[in-house]
Amino acid sequence: MALEESHVRRAAHLARLAVSDDQASGFVDDLSRILDMVDQLQSLDTDGVAPLAHPLDATQRLRADEVTETNQRDAFQRCAPAVENGLYLVPRVVE
């Protein structure tokens, strides 16, 4: 499956990565080679094989519905780039 620059542009948009024109062509080269390598998968017959998401056949454990966390806003916001009145600030979101 050949990779085109439009694919890289679309992935960069979905992943919110700024990519310059120069970088885009470099990524097309690198990613194409990676995908060529990945495409070896297509030669393998996997009919009837169930996908495996986790290496162990374990199931989800459930947590009791208890409030165990306390307010640590100050500690958490110490590493925040911009806060005011306890809110995280971002450039205006237009609805």
Partner 1 sequence: MHDKTVTQLAAALKSGELSSRELTSHFLQRIEKADGSLNSFITVTAEQAMSQAAAADKARADGKAGKLTGIPLALKDIFCTQDVKTSCGSKMLDNFIAPYNATVVEKLRAAGTISLGKTNMDEFAMGSSNENSHYGAVKNPWDLSAVPGGSSGGSAAAVAAGFVPAAMGTDTGGSIRQPAAFCGITGLKPTYGRVSRYGIIAYASSLDQAGPMARTAEDCALLLNVIAGHDVRDSTSVARGVPDYTETLNAPLSGLKIGLPKEYFGDGLDPEVEKAVREAVKVYESLGATVREVSLPHTHYAIPAYYVIAPAEASSNLSRYDGVRFGHRCDSPLDLQDLYTRSRAEGFGEEVKRRILIGTHTLSEGFFDAYYTKAQKVRRLIRQDFLDAFEDVDVLMGPASPTPAFDLGAKKDPVSMYLQDIYTIAVNLAGIPGISVPAGFAGGRPVGLQILGTHFAEAQLLNVAHQFQQATDWHTQLPAFAEENA
Partner 2 sequence: MQWETVIGLEVHVQLATRSKIFSGASTAFGAEPNTQACAVDLGLPGVLPVLNEQAVAMAVQFGLAVHAEIPEVSIFDRKNYFYPDLPKGYQTSQMYHPIVGAGEVEITLDDDTTKRIRIHHAHLEEDAGKSLHEDFQGMTGIDLNRAGTPLLEIVSEPDMRSAKEAAAYLKAIHSIVTYLGISDGNMAEGSMRCDVNVSVRPKGQEAFGTRAEIKNVNSFRFVERAIAFEVERQIELIEDGGKVVQETRLFDPERDETRSMRTKEEANDYRYFPCPDLLPVVLDQAYLEHLRSQLPELPADKRARFQNELGLSAYDANVLSASREMAEFFEEVQRVCGDAKQAANWVQGELSGALNRENLSIQNSPVSAQQLGELIRRVLDDTINGKAAKQVFQALWNGQGENADAVIEAKGLKQVTDTGAIEAMIDQVIAESPAQVAQYRDSEPEKRGKMIGYFVGQVMKASRGTANPQQVNGVLKEKLDALL
> Which of partner 1, partner 2, none lies near 95, with the C-beta cut-off 5 to 8 A by kind?
partner 2
Q: Which long-range contacts (CB under 8 A, 24 or more apart) does 92-95 make?
A: none
Cα 38–Cα 40–Cα 44 angle in degrees, nearest 5: 125
Answer for which of 1, 2, 16, 50 binds partner 2 (CB under 8 A) is 16
86 Cβ contact partners less than 8 Å away, ≥ 6 residues apart: 73, 77
**Binding characters for partner 2, 45-84, by CB under 8 A (x = yes):** --------xx---xxxxxxxxxxxx-xxx--xx----x-x
Q: Which residues bind partner 2 (CB under 8 A)?
A: 14, 16, 53-54, 58-69, 71-73, 76-77, 82, 84-93, 95
